Amino acid sequence: MRTKPGWTLALTAAAALTLPASTTPAQDEAPAPSLDVVTFVDGREVRGRIIKETAEAIWLDLGFDVLKAPRTSVDAIVRADAEAEPEAAPSQSLYRVAAGSLPERSAREQAQRWGEAVALVSTPSGTGSGFVIHPDGYTITNAHVIQGETRVKCTLFERDGEGMRRVVIDDVEIIAVNNHLDLALVRLSRKDGRPFSTVYLAGSDELAAGQEVFAIGAPLGLERTLSSGVIATTLRDFQGVTYIQTTTQINPGNSGGPLFNLKGEVIGVTNMKIPFGEGLGFAIPARYVRDFLRNREAFAFDKNNPNSGHTYHDAPPRESFGVAPILHDEAER
The answer to whether 118 and 165 have CB atoms below 8 angstroms apart is: no
Taking the C-alpha atoms of residue 62 and residue 29, their distance in angstroms, rounded to an integer, is 19
The answer to whether 218 and 187 have CB atoms below 8 angstroms apart is: no
The answer to whether 217 and 117 have CB atoms below 8 angstroms apart is: no
Residues 6 or more apart from 222 whose CB is under 8 A from it? 253
Taking the C-alpha atoms of residue 202 and residue 278, their distance in angstroms, rounded to an integer, is 27
Taking the C-alpha atoms of residue 305 and residue 168, their distance in angstroms, rounded to an integer, is 28
Length of the chain: 333
Amino acid, res. 242: T
**Does 144 participate in catalysis according to the annotation?**
yes
Please tell me which residue in 122, 129, 227, 255 is annotated as part of the active site. 255
Q: Is 254 in a helix, a strand, or coil?
A: coil
Please tell me which residue in 134, 182, 227, 228 is annotated as part of the active site. 182
Query: Could you please report the per-residue DSSP string of 282-303?
Result: EEEEHHHHHHHHHTGGGGB--T
Taking the C-alpha atoms of residue 287 and residue 299, their distance in angstroms, rounded to an integer, is 17
Q: Is 71 in a helix, a strand, or coil?
A: helix
The answer to whether 149 and 160 have CB atoms below 8 angstroms apart is: no
Residues 6 or more apart from 120 whose CB is under 8 A from it? 127, 128, 129, 154, 155, 156, 218, 221, 223
**Does 255 participate in catalysis according to the annotation?**
yes
Please tell me which residue in 36, 129, 144, 228 is annotated as part of the active site. 144
The answer to whether 62 and 13 have CB atoms below 8 angstroms apart is: yes
**Does 75 participate in catalysis according to the annotation?**
no
Taking the C-alpha atoms of residue 108 and residue 105, their distance in angstroms, rounded to an integer, is 8
Which residues are catalytically annotated? Answer: 144, 182, 255
